[in-house]
Amino acid sequence: MDSLAAPQDRLVEQLLSPRTQAQRRLKDIDKQYVGFATLPNQVHRKSVKKGFDFTLMVAGESGLGKSTLVHSLFLTDLYKDRKLLSAEERISQTVEILKHTVDIEEKGVKLKLTIVDTPGFGDAVNNSECWKPITDYVDQQFEQYFRDESGLNRKNIQDNRVHCCLYFISPFGHGLRPVDVGFMKALHEKVNIVPLIAKADCLVPSEIRKLKERIREEIDKFGIHVYQFPECDSDEDEDFKQQDRELKESAPFAVIGSNTVVEAKGQRVRGRLYPWGIVEVENQAHCDFVKLRNMLIRTHMHDLKDVTCDVHYENYRAHCIQQMTSKLTQDSRMESPIPTLPLPTPDAETEKLIRMKDEELRRMQEMLQKMKQQMQDQ
């Protein structure tokens, strides 16, 4: 376009202020496009302005490194005021639910992160049903959301539903313990469970491989539905597909946490310093911490929220509506003095219509038959 403009026009264009030049360019663009290509930018701007929220639950026996891992993941110490209980106190203690919320900001993007901790889980002498307070908590959040959604102020609902649960499995056993199976089975239809092998630095690579295999087999055997990473789109580039394959093959992630920064090969890294060497949290040869962090924060946070909303919450909502409807039917039967007949279901209605049409067809066929007979008789 510029090359076709007359020399004096080009001179005028150069003399204009940069702002007017930009406005003119925008007008030219306006002539060529309808403009909906800017939709992703509008969505992006609105989401960034609103900020994001994410609720992560951590569960597993105490001492498996849950708080250390949360610190390593979000570089925020949420457990400053934590009071550790003595063995005696722990025997009588029941499972508690503690919520910590922090606002994190990175490059202008705000994230309201809520960590739901479950101290006391698996600490009792008898651990049967010790997951009950946790399932109750998850259900209460769904219930609150359901109420808010049916209320007047639907626009400003505070979403406290649990989007993901990191479940810590001990590295010292030979696979899942009964309490692990019980917990996951009680929660797998309510929340996205991501199982983790805790304190992976206690095992050598071959032991980690074996333990992972064993856990995968047991998850299958007991029919536990842990969070499934979504299928990778076929048009993604090869690097992304490779990363996705590696991510799926690494589950359950073997993780290491540390609250300290140490010096390794001249570099300051987050790690654990032992007399025989340093284990680096972010070194992919040492553990799957980076894979977990990337999955949780960089690649799958949105999917975890979608699955919570579209699958787990929808299940809860459908169940609630079903219960409410059957209660209403029961109540109306009890209140009505005349015994209520079962209402025709859409199926019964359709069947009635089909029968009527069949009858009509049969009559027409009879009539045709009679007419044919009359013609033959003549």
Q: Which residues bind ligand GDP (CB under 6 A)?
A: 62-68, 199, 201-202, 256-257
Establish whether the linkage from the previous residue to 337 is cis, with ω within 30° of 0: no
Instruction: Give me the sheet containing 267-274, strands edge to edge.
Output: 261-264, 267-274, 277-280
In the complex, minimum distance from the CB of residue 128 to ligand GDP, in angstroms, rounded to a whole number: 21
In DSSP terms, which residues pair with 59 in a beta bridge?
167
The answer for residues whose C-beta is within 8 angstroms of residue 54's C-beta and 6 or more apart is 111, 112, 113, 114, 163, 164, 301, 304, 305
In the complex, minimum distance from the CB of residue 217 to ligand GDP, in angstroms, rounded to a whole number: 24
In the complex, minimum distance from the CB of residue 219 to ligand GDP, in angstroms, rounded to a whole number: 21
In the complex, minimum distance from the CB of residue 257 to ligand GDP, in angstroms, rounded to a whole number: 4
In the complex, minimum distance from the CB of residue 65 to ligand GDP, in angstroms, rounded to a whole number: 3
Q: With respect to ligand GDP, which residue has the nearer C-beta, 142 or 183?
A: 183
Q: What angle do CA 276, 286, 74 make, to 5 degrees?
A: 110
In the complex, minimum distance from the CB of residue 313 to ligand GDP, in angstroms, rounded to a whole number: 28
Q: With respect to ligand GDP, which residue has the nearer C-beta, 65 or 175?
A: 65
Q: With respect to ligand GDP, which residue has the nearer C-beta, 48 or 98?
A: 98
In the complex, minimum distance from the CB of residue 178 to ligand GDP, in angstroms, rounded to a whole number: 19
Q: With respect to ligand GDP, which residue has the nearer C-beta, 186 or 202?
A: 202
Distance CA 212, CA 196 (A): 9
Instruction: Give me the sheet containing 109-117, strands edge to edge.
Output: 98-106, 109-117, 52-59, 164-169, 193-197, 253-254
Q: With respect to ligand GDP, which residue has the nearer C-beta, 195 or 257?
A: 257
Find the helix or strand (DSSP H, E) in which 83 lies: none
Position closest to ligand GDP via CB:
65
In the complex, minimum distance from the CB of residue 275 to ligand GDP, in angstroms, rounded to a whole number: 13
Q: Which residue has the tokens 């209403």?
A: 328
Q: How many Cα neighbours within 13 Å face the side chain of 124?
A: 14
Q: With respect to ligand GDP, which residue has the nearer C-beta, 60 or 308?
A: 60
Q: Which segments of the chain are extended strands (E)? A: 52-59, 98-106, 109-117, 164-169, 193-197, 253-254, 261-264, 267-274, 277-280
Q: What is the dihedral of CA 197, 198, 202, 203, to 10 degrees?
A: 10
- Single-letter code of the amino acid located at 101: T
CA 149 to chain centre: 19
Q: With respect to ligand GDP, which residue has the nearer C-beta, 64 or 211?
A: 64
Q: Which segments of 181-239 are extended strands (E)? A: 193-197
Q: With respect to ligand GDP, which residue has the nearer C-beta, 256 or 307?
A: 256
